[in-house]
Amino acid sequence: MTIDALKQDACDLIDGLKTDLLGVSHKIHANPEIAFEECFASQLLCSVAESEGIQMRRGAYGIETAFAGDFGKGDLPRVALISEYDALPGLGHACGHNVIATAGLGAVLALHRMRERLPGAVRYLGTPAEERGCGKEIMARNGAFDGVEAAMMVHPAGINVKALRCICISEATVVYTGRAAHAAVFPEMGLNALDAITLSYQAIAQLRQHIRSSERIHGVITAGGVAPNTVPDSTTAVYFVRAADAEALAKLKPRVQACLDAGALASGCAVDIQWSPVDYLDMVVNEPLADAYVSNATRLGRCGFVPYERLPLAGSDMANVSHRVPVLHPLISMSPPNVMLHDPAFATWARSEEGDKTAIDGAKALAMTAIDYFCTPELREDVSKAFRQTASHREKTLSIACGR
């Protein structure tokens, strides 16, 4: 059977699964769950995969809401297909992860039904905590991508792009502890934790004038006191610190830490600064794998690809995977270009007819690209060669990020 015939069979199978797949997408959309709390979504995806005969491992690779399932012979090229399913706090699926989850599931179900005809093996991974917590890095450190030759997923957006540009991100949670007092009668008895957090916020605002254009620092005060006539004795904030690569991030974090310490020093408060145990890394784009996806997406009528070099820098824990194995992470158009990710309107598009079409097209494009990888030794060699060419950068990055 030709590669084109295999691809057509995969697309036909996904069309036959359309009703069930869209039911999954709609249920996940209606039950948004934030990072590490995705119990409903992970159980639903596992149950559907198990109903097709795929043996699933729940609570896989160090995260309770992660899962994994393998099929195919161990000596064949193995591809990881990925479903994300966490939502944004307060915004639901304004990043379209219900569509990502469905696309990954659809591709996996089709390939499983074709497994006896495919010279390849699949690992289906459910990866929680993409929005916050860097779930894929945790899973990678616990072996999720061991024995995998390439990892693939597709992300909805307002445009078609063959790859995503990502920079590094670290998260800091900050707690200032002062001393309460009556703000009018005995203000001299208090140590103002709100002053501490405000001073640090302003110090970071000044630091922003003197960092690189590829660097970002942004945060929110999550608790600032209770009553205006009481000196606040406890305040908290969360910051994201971004830089182009792991080396630049490692240099920027102490500068941010100094601003946070300064708030405590100036106010007399104590401060507890907790940096995230894992950081988001920069994306290593694999051009041959991305080009294979473009060919298959074009076959589905997905045209007008925007060069990824023109995109603003984003963040994704799929970038962490790209330092371990070749990665496919394209954007597939779902909304108008002016409706951005993390916009409340994007959540509406993720449950629209266009969102449904995107989920099905995404499943087909993923399945066809996996078939290309399985059936085309030349593509596998090109992907491997491109990956080897980035070895120096990847090894340096992982050395910094993992403390090797």
Q: Are residues 238 and 303 in the same domain?
A: no
Q: Are residues 134 and 151 in the same domain?
A: yes
Q: Are residues 155 and 236 in the same domain?
A: no
What pLDDT is stored for residue 182 in this prediction? 92
CA distance 8 to 212: 48
Q: How many domains does the chain have?
A: 2
In the predicted model, residues of the chain with pLDDT beneath 50 are none
Pairing of strands 150-152, 78-83: parallel
Q: Are residues 296 and 398 in the same domain?
A: yes
Q: Are residues 119 and 139 in the same domain?
A: yes
Which CATH number characterizes residue 190's domain? 3.30.70.360
What pLDDT is stored for residue 311 in this prediction? 84
Provide φ and ψ at 191, rounded to 5°: -120, 115
pLDDT single digits (tens) 303-349: 999 999 888 888 999 999 999 999 999 999 999 999 999 999 999 99
Task: Please identify, among 242, 257, 275, the residue that sits at the C-terminal boundary of a domain.
Answer: 275
User: Looking at this protein, which amino acid is placed at residue 156?
Assistant: P
Task: Please identify, among 218, 243, 275, the residue that sits at the C-terminal boundary of a domain.
Answer: 275
Task: Please identify, among 240, 275, 310, the residue that sits at the C-terminal boundary of a domain.
Answer: 275
Q: Are residues 143 and 209 in the same domain?
A: no
Which CATH number characterizes residue 143's domain? 3.40.630.10
User: Looking at this protein, which amino acid is placed at residue 68?
Assistant: A
Domain of residue 184, residue span: 168-275
What pLDDT is stored for residue 404 in this prediction? 56
CA distance 402 to 366: 30
